[in-house]
Amino acid sequence: NVLLLLKQRFIENRSVETIFPLLCCLRDSQVIVPVNVTMSKEDEEMFLHAKKGDTVTTSGNIRMKPDILQNGDAFFFPMFSNAEQMPEDYAAKFSNINMSVLQCIKMAKTYDKVIGLVLDAFTDPVVLEYQLADIIPRLESRLKPEE
């Protein structure tokens, strides 16, 4: 809710005073990333037949590829502040994983054509090209270390 509030403040008044709190919040946020999961048929069967509480050991590699979004000639790594920010028909096509924004930035940079990230692409989007996104890891965490 804090992330959504800060995002909305930024959208309503795009300024240094509103972007900095948003970037600080993103620094410590967990977001949802839509991914396509690829695995062997054998591993897929093991997951499909697993019961709650079962431990599943895969025999092959499992790959999770994010749904890279395109806007004209620009490509963006999608991240969503919560599930409600994804249209149902879009969300139904993907598996979702929770990741830190810092992990999203690292993963986004592994895709050659991607020029940044987009938060909540289908509702009130905020585009974070790398010039802006690269500030986030340099910000001090506001979370207290666990003891």
3-state secondary structure 42-62: HHHHHHHHCCCCCCCCCCCCC
The DSSP 8-state label assigned to residue 80 in this structure reads B
- pLDDT at position 147 is 56
pTM metric for this prediction:
0.84
Helix (H) / strand (E) element for 31: namely strand 30-38
CA dist 63 and 37 (Å) reads 6
pLDDT digits (tens, 9 = 90+) for 6-65: 999 999 999 999 999 999 999 999 999 999 988 888 878 887 888 888 887 888 788 889
- Which is nearest to 75 in space by CA: 120, 127, 122, 116? 116
Beta strands in 46-131 (DSSP E): 63-66, 69-71, 74-79, 95-100, 114-119, 126-129
- Among residues 88, 76, 47, 41, the alpha carbon closest in space to that of 60 is found at 41
